[in-house]
Amino acid sequence: MKIPLYQQIKDKIIAMIDIMEPNASIPSERDFTDHFQASRMTVRKAINELVDEGYLYRDANRGTFVSDKRLIKKNSLLTPEFDKHTILYFDVKASCGEDVSLKLNISRDTSVVRFIRILSKDNINIALEEVYIARNQLTDDAFNDLPKLENFNAFFNRGSASFTVIPMLVPIKYANLLGVKLETPILSIESIIYKNDGSPLVYIKSFNHPVYRLIEITD
């Protein structure tokens, strides 16, 4: 398991700037070239990735600086913050509903794995997720590991995800689970994880606590 040089440099720079003040300047690329005994292009690759991720920012002709921590990029749609998930249902259906058939681009008589789970944090239920995956997209091993899988972004490693945010009143059947009154406005999020070839792989419909499940994106 060889770790590329630029990745090692990234890790060292992250550790270095972690104890620096925002807007402090970091050494120049040429200084790093000496310090890390690497070529300038390799140092640049490390720094460029940190700039893309929001850890650093550049001012052309002036230097490279430490970002305010608030500006580090995040996407809470992609990586919801929870510390426990509880599965309410897990089943394999011989057919699927029309919405699932459309979202996963499969026929109604395709076998589909479905489960419903609660995401919680600090013992507060923050979201309820309905997850659908066509059975034939899963190896037997993946199928067996599914209930243990916390984050479906594993599927997203070699693909993309799209999200649509929809305002609605809390569904009656989920009001109690989310601990909110009837008629409370909440966010529903429809997520589809696609493979690189464009075929949909996972369809997730979530219902989110209006206060404790904060949707925040920094870009």
81 binds DNA (CB under 7 A): no
158, HSE (Cβ side, Cα atoms, 13 Å)? 2
Per CB under 8 A, 59 contacts a copy of itself:
yes
In the complex, minimum distance from the CB of residue 85 to a copy of itself, in angstroms, rounded to a whole number: 21
The DSSP call for residue 165 is E
Q: How far is CA 46 from the centre of its chain?
A: 22
- Per-residue DSSP letter, 72: S
Q: Considering beta carbons, is residue 69 or 84 the nearer one to a copy of itself?
A: 69
> What's the rounded Cα separation, in Å, for the pair 25 and 67?
10
Give CA–CA dist 10/30, Å, rounded. 15
**Angle made by CA atoms 91, 96, 98, in degrees to the nearest 5:** 145
Nearer to a copy of itself, 49 or 130 (CB): 49
Region binding DNA by CB under 7 A among candidate stretches 29-37, 74-82, 130-138, 139-147: 29-37
Among the listed residues 86, 111, 144, 160, the single contact to a copy of itself using CB under 8 A: 160
Query: Which of DNA, a copy of itself, none does residue 196 bind to, with CB < 5 to 8 Å depending on kind?
Result: a copy of itself
Secondary structure (H, E, C), 7-33: HHHHHHHHHHHHCCCCCCECCCHHHHH
Q: Is residue 64 near DNA by the rule CB under 7 A? A: yes
Q: Please choose which of a copy of itself, DNA, none residue 54 contacts, taking the beta carbon within 5 to 8 angstroms, the exact cut-off set by kind.
A: a copy of itself
- Cβ-proximal residues to 156 (8 Å cutoff; 6+ apart), any chain: 78, 193
- Euclidean distance between CA atoms 66 and 184, whole angstroms: 41
Considering only 12, 44, 74, 114, the residue that binds DNA (CB under 7 A) is 44
Nearest partner of 66 among 23, 117, 15, 36, judged by Cα: 23
Q: Which of the choices DNA, a copy of itself, none does residue 61 contact, using the CB cut-off of 5 to 8 A by kind?
A: DNA
| Smallest distance from a copy of itself to CB 41, Å | 7
**Minimum CB–partner distance for residue 179 and DNA (Å):** 45
Among 7, 18, 20, 22, binds a copy of itself (CB under 8 A): 22
Cβ atoms of 177 and 128 closer than 8 Å: yes
User: Can residue 71 be called a binding residue for a copy of itself (CB under 8 A)?
Assistant: yes
Q: In whole angstroms, how close is the CB of 75 to DNA at the nearest point?
A: 22
Please report, as ranges, the residues that interact with DNA according to CB under 7 A: 2, 4-7, 26, 28-31, 37-42, 44-45, 58-64
